[in-house]
Amino acid sequence: MYLTVKNLAEDKRYFDDVLDLVYKEWGNNNFEFWKGWIKSSMSENDVPMTFIVFCDNDLVGTFSLWRCDLQSRQDLFPWLGGIVVEENWRGKGIGLFIQHKAKEILKHLGHTKAYLFTEMTGYYEKTGWQFLEFGIDEKGNQVRIYSIKLS
Task: Count other Cβ atoms within 10 Å, centred on residue 47.
Answer: 18
Residue closest to 50 by CA, chosen among 75, 28, 73, 82: 82
Q: Which domains does the chain have, with CATH numbers?
A: 3-109 (3.40.630.30)
Whole-number pLDDT of residue 126: 93
Spans of the chain below 70 pLDDT: none
Per-residue pLDDT tens over the stretch 50-59: 999 999 999 9
- 22 neighbors 82 (Cβ within 8 angstroms): yes
The H-or-E segment that residue 149 falls in is strand 142-149
